């Protein structure tokens, strides 16, 4: 049985998906609105965290 591992995105990939600047992505991480991890000093964001962030924003707007 294989378990699908989460897809980890770079800050640049997240900024493209959210259509915001690099500084904004780091601000979302700093304020704990976007979950991230560090892998050997490199910041990585699970794809599911981006989806959760977008869903939360849509919920707030409704």
pLDDT 10s per residue in the chain (62 long)?
A: 556 677 999 999 999 999 999 999 999 999 999 999 999 999 999 999 999 999 999 999 98
What is the Cα–Cα distance from 36 to 9, expressed in whole angstroms? 9
Query: Cβ(10)–Cβ(1) under 8 Å?
Result: no
Residue 47 covered by a domain: yes
Residue 37 covered by a domain: yes
Q: CATH number of the domain at 18, please.
A: 1.10.1660
How many distinct structural domains can be found in the chain? 1
What is the CB-side half-sphere exposure of residue 60 using CA atoms within 13 A?
7
pTM: 0.85
The residues pairing with 44 across neighbouring beta strands, listed in sequence order, are 37
DSSP assignment letter at 38: E
pLDDT score at 6: 77
- CA 30, distance to chain mean position in Å, is 12
């Amino acid at each position: 049985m294989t378990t699908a591992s989460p897809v980890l995105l770079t800050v640049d990939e997240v900024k493209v998906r959210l259509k915001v600047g690099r500084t904004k992505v780091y601000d979302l991480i700093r304020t704990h609105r976007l979950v991230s991890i560090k892998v050997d000093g490199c910041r990585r964001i699970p794809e599911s965290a981006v989806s959760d962030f977008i869903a939360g924003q849509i919920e707030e707007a409704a």
